Amino acid sequence: MMNAKVHELLNQQINKEFYSAYLYLDFSNYFKAKGLDGFANWYMIQAQEERDHAMLFYQYLQNESQPVTLEAIAKPDKTFECHMDVLKAGLEHEEYVTSLINDIYAAAYDVKDFRTMQFLDWFVKEQGEEETNANDMITKMELFGSDPRSLYMLNQELAARVYTAPSLVL
């Protein structure tokens, strides 16, 4: 039987992951409106990944015979003055998601829920990659964003990103 606190945190994470997808769709909309289709593509793929993450939590709870309660997904409410604001908001959000995953892991650790800890190991690694990617985007924008030609090349680089579904086996 799964600990009630661990169950609650896992269930809440489903909503947080769907919110992340909404947030990244909002980022994609911002860049699409600015004519930066590559940036828009990059965040559209981020949104797809976040939806997959939500579904992994959903499936995990179902596999553990735990009820899933779906809540309303909040509307993203940030406005951006410039491209860098979006990128910094992305890093800030990934750091927040990392803290959520860490909180679930700590709760599972406290009650010796090794199965949940093993499930979360993939997300711990994934969050490290997400934070690195967000930091890299900021660094590249700082280096190249003020030069139109370099921004064009960075946009082209981001346009080449393709979606790959996570390979986590439940």
Question: What secondary structure does DSSP assign to 42-66, as a single string?
Answer: HHHHHHHHHHHHHHHHHHHHHHTT-
Q: How far apart are CA 56 and CA 62, in angstroms?
A: 10
Residue extents of the structural domains in the chain:
4-159
Quote the crossing angle between the two packed helices 37-63 and 4-33, to the nearest 10°.
Answer: 160
Q: How confident is the model at residue 132 (pLDDT cuts 50, 70, 90)?
A: very high
The whole-number pLDDT of residue 170 equals: 60
The whole-number pLDDT of residue 38 equals: 97
Q: How far apart are CA 105 and CA 116, in angstroms?
A: 8
Q: How confident is the model at residue 168 (pLDDT cuts 50, 70, 90)?
A: low
Note the pLDDT tens digit of each residue in 27-55: 999 999 999 999 999 999 999 999 999 99
Name the average pLDDT for the chain.
95
Provide mean pLDDT across the span 55-75.
Answer: 97
**What is the pTM (predicted TM-score) of this model?**
0.94
Q: Considering the chain, what percentage of its residues have pLDDT values greater than 70?
A: 98
- Give yes or no for residue 86 having a pLDDT over 90: yes
The whole-number pLDDT of residue 169 equals: 60
Note the pLDDT tens digit of each residue in 89-129: 999 999 999 999 999 999 999 999 999 999 999 999 999 99
Provide mean pLDDT across the span 128-138.
Answer: 97
* CATH 3.30.10.20 correct for 4-159: no
The whole-number pLDDT of residue 1 equals: 87
Residue with tokens 């179902």: 62
Q: How confident is the model at residue 164 (pLDDT cuts 50, 70, 90)?
A: confident
The whole-number pLDDT of residue 96 equals: 98
